Every structure is written in structure tokens, then in C-alpha cells.
Structure 1
Amino acid sequence: MTEGYEIPLHRSLAEPILMAGAPRGAAIAIGTLAAALALGLRLWIPGLALWALGHSAAVFVAKSDPDFMAVAVRSTRHREHLTC
């Protein structure tokens, strides 16, 4: 690094976008499925349970790897390259 030069790096550029601890895409997908189940099919308890379990699982996995959704999508797309 050259002496005398400094570039500020904002945290928003380096950290993943999370909603209540879960990746944004996963939180939106889980919430949409739970809302469709609860509001569309009028199954309130299963819809709430789906949201609570799904969001908790996403938060648990995101604590170890915040980009797990991108890795999961990439691994399913390139499955033939990842098999032994």
C-alpha cells in the first residue's frame, strides 16, 4: 500500500443484505410462501409455523455463511461438476 493514500470503504458495500438476520432473498421467499398459505388458504397456524421454522433455519445457516443462498443456487446449477 502506498503511504499517504487512504480509501474509505463503507460497511454497506462489504456486508451482505440481511432481513432480520436472514438473507434478503430467502426472507422474502419464506414470507411469501407463509403469507400464501396463511392468507390464501386460510391455514393460519401452519403458515405461521412455516414462517417461524423457515426464517429460523435461514438465520441459523446465515450465521455461518451469509451467502449460502448464492452458494446453494450455484451448486444446483453446476451439479455435474461437483459430483465425485
Structure 2
Amino acid sequence: MNIKEIKELAKRFTPEEIELCINQTLKIGKPTLKGCEVSGDIIEILNTLAKAETVRELMEQGMTEVEAIRELARRIRKIQGAEK
């Protein structure tokens, strides 16, 4: 998980813009929105964008960036724990 990319995307774009990047990646293999470039293969790109969208949504609900990142990590751990 590239926290730096997630934080930059969450600060720069709205959830709707990030969703557009996700849809572009699904359709053509990469986002075309300027500034929405993400490193990695298509799965890594989609994962990073989805995480950034979640962080941004949490920030719009009133969480600080740090709180939103922690909440994202908590949700990931919860899901990973449920899979075992």
C-alpha cells in the first residue's frame, strides 16, 4: 500500500473524480485524468485509487487525513481477519 500516493490523490481529487479514474482504468487500463497517474499494474492502480477514494470520503465526513488513513487501515485489517 503506497500511503504517499493515496494521500496525494485524496487531497487532490473529489470522490467523484477518483471514481472517474477508476472507471478509466477499468476501460483502458490506466487513468487519463491529469494528476491521477498511479504506479503499478492495473490491480495495484485500482487498489490505490479505491483506497484514496475511501480516505477522501472519510475526510469529507470530518475526519482528519491521519484519522482517515487509520480508519482505512482498520477496515483492511478487519476484512483480512475475516478471510482467515
Report TM bin, short chain: 0.3 to 0.5
The two structures have a TM-score, normalised by structure 2, of 0.32
Task: Kindly indicate which of the two structures has a greater share of residues assigned to helix.
Answer: 2
